[in-house]
Amino acid sequence: MANERKTEIIVRSHFEQFKEIVHIEEQLSDNPKIDKLLKTASKKGSGKGKPEFLITFSGNSDLIIVVECKAEITRHESSTKDKFSEYAVDGALLYASYLSKEFDVLAIGVSGQTKQQLNVSHFLQLKNERKAVSIFGSKLLSGNDYLDGYLKSPEKLRQDYNILLEFTKQLNDTLHSYKILESQRSLLISCVLIALENKAFKTAYPLFGSTNEKDTADEKGKKVENAAKELANYLVDTVSNELKNANIKSDRLDNLNIQFGFIRTDTSLSTKKDVLKNLIKDIDDNINSFIKTHKYCDVLGQLYVEFLRYANSDKGLGIVLTPPHITELFSDLAQVNKNSIVYDNCAGTGGFLISAMKKMIADAEGDQAKIKEIKKNQLFGVEYQAHIFALAVSNMYIHQDGKTNILNGSCFDEDIIQEIKTKKPTVGFLNPPYKGDKKKDVDELEFVLNNLECLVDGGTGIAIVPMQSALAQTGKVYEIKKKLLENHTLEAVLSMPNELFTNSKVNVVSCVMIFTAHKPHPKNKETYFGYYKDDGFVKRKIQGRTDVYGKWENIKDKWVNYYLNRKQEPGFSANKVVAAYDEWCAEAYMETDYSKLTQNDFLKTIKEYILFNELFLKDE
């Protein structure tokens, strides 16, 4: 005979192993907030909800685990998930929908009366989100595994990242009120983040300006008066010593000291009481904690983009930082692994290198010697802009190494080209500076040629460039296209979302080009063209373009799968033999998928045609 108590005993015994970090309650909670949320959460539609188990963590008050049990495995989960009193998963999800108004909730449905037959399902529903997503596997995990998996989940990353962006806006307003230049704001943050890696600094900075009862009034006044200046100097000195100890060459170190030097003299940071100290605390609490939880994310790059959204200072320089989901996509398209050697000749803040590092370290599977080798000898970059070079070095530093392999200079410098070639990079990534109206500006495809030149034979080079580079059929760009095909193989061109760079305040339609280095393009070689216009991101006022609905992971899987296997699909992808004079874009070669056309598409086209006639053909 089925006995649900047996299931409950198994679950209780499992979680009791982790009592040092979890608190287990059954049916009712002493927490008044939890108790209130369950007041109307009955599985039968009226009255109070009484889950089998409510589990909270001593070190994290944001997460609750709610567990529902059923003896029979046939009562594990219904197809509709709305038979709350009859099925374990359904009931757990019901409670999660109530508790998620105030907490992040891990809903666990458990069925079976022995450990051998136990069936377990996990769903994560974050605070104020309507949807619960499947997570983990089909076994009960340790308390630490649950907490770590929750903190590092894509859903939690998205939630925390949105919170970080909200903080960034507040921080930007604060820095603006202190008259700190937009171009210096990211440098200040990067300087603070490096200093916080130093334990002595992290312990000492809150004490600056502190007084004690034995101090005279004059002594107290002097301590407060000098504290800001002393802290500013201590901050920059700490960073300089940290970078020096990281074996950064003297010329690069001098450059970095110059970039961070403004902190010593800035009126607000070096003279006003507690301004710098409070900024350091805010950065530690909000940005540093995010970095420690979500490793290998180009936070400095994204902060730089956010600050640029409120300024126009770098727009004219063609600086367009690559969104993190695209830097991640590049590593998947190139099939980066623990043995890859990656080079970015337009490194920016290091986004491509950090995404590659993340994938390479995951492939190392905990081999610490290999991970050290990856960080020390397998990631290389060149950045021309001095202040962005400082951000790149800082970014690599806070991700523990790789910083000594970022060069400050022109990627076209022959000495730099030869130095990079000695490293034998197997993968090249780049998002080149986008040229303005000046004819003297270097063309984007010249940067692509430069990157490919540095790769080993057969290496993979991937670049994101303006679509107009792919469409050119005359002039200088056409000649560069010819040169590319004479020396390298064009494997694919992927049309990117039209508003991909909205967060960088740049309206450029782009595409991704993928090459095999030093293998001339075969005459009858088919190139893969993908119409990768929908990445699932939408625009939001505070966050800019963001993955609000969590669609990106599935979309990315399809994009990578179709490219690797050269799959063709009407309206999405095609394979085509092309030459330099052809248009390199999916739009020119795809078949139309008529099955997706609707009456609304027809009406929209008619309206656009009528509007066109009214505006442009009226007088003819």
**pLDDT tens profile 190-200:** 999 999 999 99
Q: Is the pLDDT of residue 310 over 90?
A: no
Structure tokens, 527: 């190139």
Q: Is the pLDDT of residue 274 over 80?
A: yes
Q: How far apart are CA 550 and CA 555, in angstroms?
A: 10
Residue 157: pLDDT band (50, 70, 90) is confident
Confidence at residue 318, expressed as pLDDT on a 0 to 100 scale: 46
Burial class (CB in 10 A: 0-12, 13-18, 19+), 38: buried
Mean pLDDT on 526-555: 89
Q: Is the pLDDT of residue 315 over 50?
A: no
Structure tokens, 383: 């950045």
Q: Residues 30-58: pLDDT tens digits? A: 899 999 999 888 877 677 888 999 999 99
Q: Is the pLDDT of residue 619 over 60?
A: no
SS (H, E, C) 36-91: HHCCCCCCCCCCCCCCCEEEEECCEEEEEEEEEEECCHHHCCCCCCCCCCCCHHHH
Residues 6+ positions from 60 with CB-CB distance below 8 Å = 147, 151
Residue 377: pLDDT band (50, 70, 90) is very high
Q: Is the pLDDT of residue 317 over 50?
A: no
Lowest mean pLDDT among 258-267, 317-326, 567-576: 317-326
Q: How far apart are CA 603 and CA 547, in angstroms?
A: 29
Which residue type, as a one-letter code, is found at position 387? Answer: H
Confidence at residue 65, expressed as pLDDT on a 0 to 100 scale: 96
Q: Percent of the chain having pLDDT more than 90? A: 60
Confidence at residue 313, expressed as pLDDT on a 0 to 100 scale: 47
Residue 289: pLDDT band (50, 70, 90) is confident
Residue 520: pLDDT band (50, 70, 90) is very high
Lowest mean pLDDT among 39-48, 88-97, 268-277, 405-414: 39-48
Residue 440: pLDDT band (50, 70, 90) is confident
Q: pTM (2 decimals)?
A: 0.78
β-pair type (60-70, 104-111) = parallel
Mean pLDDT on 508-533: 96
Confidence at residue 314, expressed as pLDDT on a 0 to 100 scale: 45
Confidence at residue 312, expressed as pLDDT on a 0 to 100 scale: 45
Q: Is the pLDDT of residue 553 over 50?
A: yes
In whole numbers, what is the pLDDT of the chain averaged over residues? 88
Mean pLDDT on 504-514: 84
Distances (CA, A) of 404 to 380, 407, 574, 614: 9, 8, 42, 61
Q: Is the pLDDT of residue 148 over 50?
A: yes
Alpha helices in 404-551 (DSSP H): 414-422, 444-454, 467-471, 475-487
Structure tokens, 23: 């608190």
Mean pLDDT on 126-134: 90
Confidence at residue 51, expressed as pLDDT on a 0 to 100 scale: 92
Q: Is the pLDDT of residue 90 over 50?
A: yes
